[in-house]
């Protein structure tokens, strides 16, 4: 348990206190309920999902770039030997 000065009034407040008992300012410590790690994970996952969506969209727009359409899989006509 350590005492940290309030960023507003300079009152010594403990780390356990969520806010300053004198002026009511929120402590500089991490606010419970809104961790920054969760927000970063959501942003990273959204960026990854958007990147995957763009990749799939570009891939589906040009199907002949990598995969051959099934209509070209027909075997060539057999030539009868004369």
Answer for which of 8, 45, 52, 58 binds Zn ion (CB under 5 A) is 8
Burial class (CB in 10 A: 0-12, 13-18, 19+), 6: buried
Angstrom distance (rounded) from CA 70 to CA 73: 5
Stretch that binds Zn ion, among 8-16, 40-48, 50-58, 67-75 (CB under 5 A): 8-16
Q: Which residues pair with 19 in a beta bridge?
A: 26
CB 33 within 8 A of CB 14: no
Q: Is the CB of 1 or the CB of 60 nearer to Zn ion? A: 1
The site string for Zn ion over 13-32 (x = CB under 5 A, - otherwise) reads: -------x-xx-x-------
Residue 9 in contact with Zn ion, rule: CB under 5 A: yes
- Interface positions with Zn ion (CB under 5 A): 6, 8-9, 11, 20, 22-23, 25
């Amino acid at each position: 348990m350590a005492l940290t000065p309030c960023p507003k009034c300079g009152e010594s407040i403990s780390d356990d206190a969520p806010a300053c008992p004198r002026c009511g300012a929120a402590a500089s410590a991490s606010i419970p309920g809104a961790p920054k790690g969760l927000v970063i994970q959501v942003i990273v996952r959204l960026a990854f999902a958007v990147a995957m969506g763009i990749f799939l969209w570009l891939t589906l727009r040009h199907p002949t770039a990598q995969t051959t359409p099934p209509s070209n899989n027909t075997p060539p006509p057999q030539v009868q030997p004369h």
